[in-house]
């Protein structure tokens, strides 16, 4: 089967997560991704555990479907190699702090002169403009400034992080679609362009309902535990052995819940709980009485009972349960393959199920500089020259 992005050539100087996530997905869809790694240590995420020997699982999970060349671009000959690779590329991506690409001689204007059709994507914490542009911006700082952290946590509690690196991923995923849109424009006009993305902007753009509450009514979203803001009960409860979500969010479902699930028809007469509005105003008491009952039995008792009664419900899975869940597995969200260092390796699967151009594992994440020779041979260097570049510590 074909892949959607066959023929798209990507030169990737990005490190750690936002850029690498973007280029991994481009690779999953068939793009030719050449990862340029800094000589001699490579991507910073190669030093992030867990490890097997010297090889990092974190690196492996964010870098499948790429080839690696380890290149010293601070030497003129190394920089020339990079410029040669860029000549016929469609996409160039970097996530240095603003200004660094310019110092390295690989800013947009320089590369555009070599390749006018180039799509050049920069990802940084705060973007290329604005008063904070020179600050170092990591995911956690972006979660803080974008307001996402302040609306996550226990009711009345301190702000907490989203469980995964949400602003890093936001910038990476926004990069994927922005690059593809720019590529569509390039196919039509032969023109390249510059794309400036910030971790803060990318996460902030996703707070759609929260922006409606604020711009429409001045409401500032705050931590709300596991609960829905305007329906109750619609939240997590602790069972005897885990957590489940129960969404008895309208009058009909509340009746079913009381009668069929917990067998407490008396709650239907309780003046504190008569309507959704009453239940919202007595949220704490509601939560407490339900918690007392739900805590008496295991999740495996409650979930089928809720389903039978027709009350929306589901597990709050621990991550190991997620990755072993029958539905998750049937969706092929865990894939198995052989990695040259790790041997048999599991990895997350592909979220898009394309009928004609399936994403697939074309190659496992590369070891550092695994494809240096191969890539240079493709671009016109010969074996002798490549050996000399090695001797000079350029590759």
The verdict on 248 binding its own copies (CB under 8 A) reads no
Structural Rg of the chain based on CA atoms: 26
Which contiguous run of DSSP H or E holds residue 291?
helix 283-294
The verdict on 366 binding its own copies (CB under 8 A) reads no
Using an 8 Å Cβ cutoff, are 31 and 5 in contact? yes
Tokens matching residue 29: 């869809």
Only segment of 72-80, 210-218, 264-272, 375-383 that touches its own copies (CB under 8 A)? 210-218
Instruction: By CB under 8 A, name the one of 11, 36, 73, 169 that touches its own copies.
Output: 169
Instruction: By CB under 8 A, name the one of 11, 33, 61, 89 that touches its own copies.
Output: 61
Single out the catalytic residue among 28, 90, 107, 168: 168
**Left, alpha or beta for 300 (phi > 0: left; psi -120 to 50: alpha)?**
alpha
DSSP 271: G
The verdict on 373 binding its own copies (CB under 8 A) reads no
The verdict on 217 binding its own copies (CB under 8 A) reads yes
The verdict on 73 binding its own copies (CB under 8 A) reads no
Tokens matching residue 147: 């307001």
Taking CB under 8 A as the criterion, which residues in 334-353 touch its own copies?
Answer: 345-353
E strands of 142-192, at which residues?
none
Give the other-Cβ count within 10 Å of 168's Cβ.
Answer: 27
The verdict on 89 binding its own copies (CB under 8 A) reads no
Cross-strand pairs, 198: 124
The verdict on 207 binding its own copies (CB under 8 A) reads yes
Measured CA to CA, the distance from residue 357 to residue 3 in angstroms comes to 4
Tokens matching residue 288: 């407490």
How far apart are CB 204 and its own copies at their closest, in Å? 6
Instruction: By CB under 8 A, name the one of 109, 156, 215, 384 that touches its own copies.
Output: 215
DSSP 96: P
The verdict on 200 binding its own copies (CB under 8 A) reads yes
How far apart are CB 302 and its own copies at their closest, in Å? 13
Measured CA to CA, the distance from residue 354 to residue 87 in angstroms comes to 31
Instruction: By CB under 8 A, name the one of 47, 74, 113, 181 that touches its own copies.
Output: 181
Is 90 catalytic? The answer is no
Using an 8 Å Cβ cutoff, are 231 and 281 in contact? no
Measured CA to CA, the distance from residue 307 to residue 244 in angstroms comes to 12
The verdict on 113 binding its own copies (CB under 8 A) reads no
Taking CB under 8 A as the criterion, which residues in 309-338 touch its own copies?
Answer: 312-323, 325-328, 330-331, 333
Judged by beta carbon, residue 78 or residue 125, the one nearer its own copies is: 125
How far apart are CB 15 and its own copies at their closest, in Å? 14
Only segment of 147-155, 251-259, 265-273, 381-389 that touches its own copies (CB under 8 A)? 147-155
Q: Parallel, antiparallel, or unpaired: how do β-strands 334-339 and 343-348 relate?
A: antiparallel
Tokens matching residue 92: 């160039």
Measured CA to CA, the distance from residue 117 to residue 112 in angstroms comes to 7
The verdict on 58 binding its own copies (CB under 8 A) reads yes
How far apart are CB 157 and its own copies at their closest, in Å? 6
The verdict on 136 binding its own copies (CB under 8 A) reads yes
Using an 8 Å Cβ cutoff, are 169 and 21 in contact? yes
Tokens matching residue 355: 């009928």
DSSP 147: S
How far apart are CB 262 and its own copies at their closest, in Å? 19
Instruction: By CB under 8 A, name the one of 176, 280, 341, 361 that touches its own copies.
Output: 176
Instruction: By CB under 8 A, name the one of 79, 93, 145, 262 that touches its own copies.
Output: 145
Only segment of 78-86, 97-105, 240-248, 376-384 that touches its own copies (CB under 8 A)? 240-248
Measured CA to CA, the distance from residue 275 to residue 251 in angstroms comes to 7
Q: Which residues are catalytic?
A: 168
């Amino acid at each position: 089967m074909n892949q959607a992005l066959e023929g798209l050539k990507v030169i990737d100087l990005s490190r750690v997560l936002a850029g690498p996530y973007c280029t991994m997905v481009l690779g999953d869809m068939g793009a030719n991704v050449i990862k340029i790694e800094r000589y001699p240590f490579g991507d910073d995420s190669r030093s992030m555990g867990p490890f097997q020997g010297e090889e990092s699982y974190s690196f492996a999970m964010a870098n499948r479907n790429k080839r690696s060349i380890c290149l010293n671009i601070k030497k003129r000959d190394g920089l020339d190699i990079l410029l040669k690779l860029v000549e016929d590329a469609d996409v160039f991506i970097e996530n240095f702090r603003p200004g660094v690409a310019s110092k390295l001689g690989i800013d947009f204007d320089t590369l555009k002169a070599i390749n006018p059709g180039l799509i050049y994507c920069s990802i940084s914490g705060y973007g290329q403009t604005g008063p904070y542009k020179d600050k170092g911006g990591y995911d956690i700082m972006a979660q803080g400034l974008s307001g996402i952290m302040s609306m996550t946590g226990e009711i009345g509690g301190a702000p907490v992080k989203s469980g995964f690196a949400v602003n890093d991923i936001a910038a990476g995923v926004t990069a994927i679609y922005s690059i593809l849109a720019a590529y569509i424009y390039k196919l039509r006009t032969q023109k390249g362009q510059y794309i400036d993305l910030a971790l803060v902007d990318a996460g902030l753009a996703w707070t759609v309902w929260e922006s409606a509450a604020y711009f429409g009514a001045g409401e500032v979203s705050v931590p709300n535990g596991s609960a829905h803001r305007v329906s109750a009960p619609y939240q997590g409860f602790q069972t005897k052995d885990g957590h489940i979500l129960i969404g008895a969010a309208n009058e009909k479902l509340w009746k079913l819940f009381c009668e069929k699930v917990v067998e407490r028809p008396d709650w239907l007469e309780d003046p504190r709980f008569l309507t959704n509005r009453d239940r919202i105003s007595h949220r704490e008491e509601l939560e407490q009485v339900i918690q007392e009952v739900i805590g008496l039995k295991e999740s495996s008792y409650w979930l089928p009972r809720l389903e039978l009664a027709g009350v929306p419900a589901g597990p709050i899975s621990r991550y190991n349960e997620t990755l072993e869940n029958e539905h998750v597995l049937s969706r092929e969200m865990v894939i198995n393959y052989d990695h040259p260092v790790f041997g048999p390796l599991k990895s997350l699967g592909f979220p898009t199920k394309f009928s004609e151009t399936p994403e697939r594992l074309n190659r496992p994440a590369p070891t550092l500089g695994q494809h240096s020779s191969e890539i240079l041979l493709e671009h016109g260097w010969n074996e002798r020259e490549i050996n000399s570049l090695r001797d000079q510590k350029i590759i």
